[in-house]
Amino acid sequence: MAHPLAVAAAETLTGNRTLTNAEIREAQIWSFDPGGSARDLTLPTVAAANAGLVLYIANKADAAEVLTIKDGVGTICTPTQNESAIVWCDGATWDGIATASS
């Protein structure tokens, strides 16, 4: 398993993106540029194995582009340009909060 606070390389999206279980076990801090349009970011399926996972996701858009973070069922939170989100899994649900970045 990676360091508890491993950082993924910044990524510019060209479409919607789904994070995999393998990816979130390798990195817990993510930066995405939605790439000129609003994008969906879907988290892995809720599972007992994901209980206790916490992810920090930054929206590094260069314009007013929303990053909609979903759990496959519904929307968890929607960080816009220069905002970030913290999402976590308790094994039964994904929850999250979007906050303004400084």
Give first-to-last CA distance, the chain, whole Å.
31
Q: What is the distance between the alpha carbons of residues 18 and 61, in angstroms, rounded to a whole number? A: 18
The reply to whether the predicted model has a pTM over 0.85 is yes
Task: Parse the chain into domains and list their residue ranges.
Answer: 11-100
Return the CATH number of the domain spanning residue range 11-100: 2.60.120
**Average predicted confidence (pLDDT) for the chain:** 92
**Per-residue pLDDT for 102 more than 80?**
no
**Per-residue pLDDT for 15 more than 90?**
yes
Contact indicator for 23, 8 with CB cutoff of 8 Å: yes
Q: What value does the mean pLDDT take over residues 57-85?
A: 95
Q: What local confidence, expressed as pLDDT, does residue 66 receive?
A: 97
Judging by beta carbons within 10 Å of its beta carbon (0-12, 13-18, 19+), is residue 77 exposed, middle or buried? buried
